[in-house]
Amino acid sequence: MLADSAPNPAAADSSGLYIGGAAATFLYKAADDRWVANKPLQTNQVYADSFYGTISSIANFSTDSLSEGPTNLYYTDTRVRAAISGGAGLTYVPGTGQFLIPSSGVTAGTYGNATNVPQLTVDSLGFVDSITNIPISTVNNFVFDSSTGRATITTATDSYSTVITLDPYTTDNLSEGSTNLYFTEARARASLKVSSSQLIYDSVAGTLFYDQGNTDSVAEGSTNLYFTDARARASLRVSDQGGSGSLTYDSNTGGLVYVGPDKEDLKTVLSTFTADSLGHLRWDPNYGFKVDSDVIMNQDLIVGDSINTSVDFMMMYSGLNDGLRKVTLSTLRTKLGGGGGGAGGGLFGFINL
């Protein structure tokens, strides 16, 4: 569609050519005052101050067709040579673009042979200043100290010593052989063996347990001996230190037997008493205990009613049993009889010994 009757650019905006079927347009844009094509445009020559669109090929163009701008300049030898210069140890010729290296003064040739090694002198810029041949000193001795890892080489003219190290290499860089194997937890655990019943070993986890058990698992020593009935019984002794009765011990059964004193033992003890040991009471080996009549006659009488005859008792010698007997006062009262004060019998008296 052409806007040939548009009164101004704004009215002619988006006017141009529309080609149906190809959806191709060539339109005018008033905002930029330019033509816009939505399809590539092919031409051999372009005669315009500005053109907006897509150029599908520049095969027919070169930099000779494009004028040099003020910023992006074209290459020339003169421009390049003027842009560079020489530095320390390097001479530059701008007119020709050459870089010249100063002569080192070293004579060209081959240095070093079977009996000499070349010795070089290099300056601060890395250039060789001089080169000479140095005779090789023969090796007289080689010593390696395994404790320090130091190797010492002695020549005819000098000695050289250094510490040999595998840095930065480790066992990770060294393949395992068939004899000297590397450590692994599985190998270490599998190598352990336990021969004691008190030790329990788990070879999978590498855990060692101690089962203390009891004395049945520990052998008896020569000093701290285990307890046995025979040892305990054999260690006991009985010593009779005198006195009444007897004590005997059977080391086979561990039994202690005590036999108390009999009447003969008691008589023997009583016979040792002095005359005043028992107060008014006397001991006669033929009759037993007795009291002299004059003692009885001189004692105060105690009224029997003031005594609890059912509880109080007396020790009396029995000729029938040939020994002392405990007799309650009520029994004694009945046997002795008597009249007077009190129900069931009379009064009786006794001597307070």
Cut 0.85: pTM above it: no
**pLDDT of amino acid 182:** 95
Owner of token pair 């004193």: 261
Mention every residue, 6+ apart, whose C-beta is less than 8 A from residue 289.
278, 281, 282, 283, 317, 324
Residue pLDDT, tens place only, 69-104? 899 999 999 889 888 888 888 888 888 888 888 888
Q: What is the mean pLDDT of the chain?
A: 78
Task: Please determine, for residue 168, whether its predicted confidence score (pLDDT) is greater than 70.
Answer: yes
**pLDDT of amino acid 137:** 79
From CA 262, how far away is CA 320, in angstroms rounded?
17
- What letter would DSSP give residue 102? P
Task: Please determine, for residue 124, whether its predicted confidence score (pLDDT) is greater than 70.
Answer: yes
**Percent helix, strand and coil across the chain, each rounded to 5?**
15, 25, 60
Average pLDDT rounded to a whole number, residues 8-31: 85
At 11 the three-state DSSP class reads coil
255 has which bridge partners?
Answer: 250
Task: Please determine, for residue 303, whether its predicted confidence score (pLDDT) is greater than 60.
Answer: no
From CA 292, how far away is CA 276, in angstroms rounded?
13
Average pLDDT rounded to a whole number, residues 208-218: 80
What is the DSSP code string of 106-158? PPPS----SSEEEEEEE-TTS-EEEEEEEEPPPEEEEEEETTTTEEEEEESS-
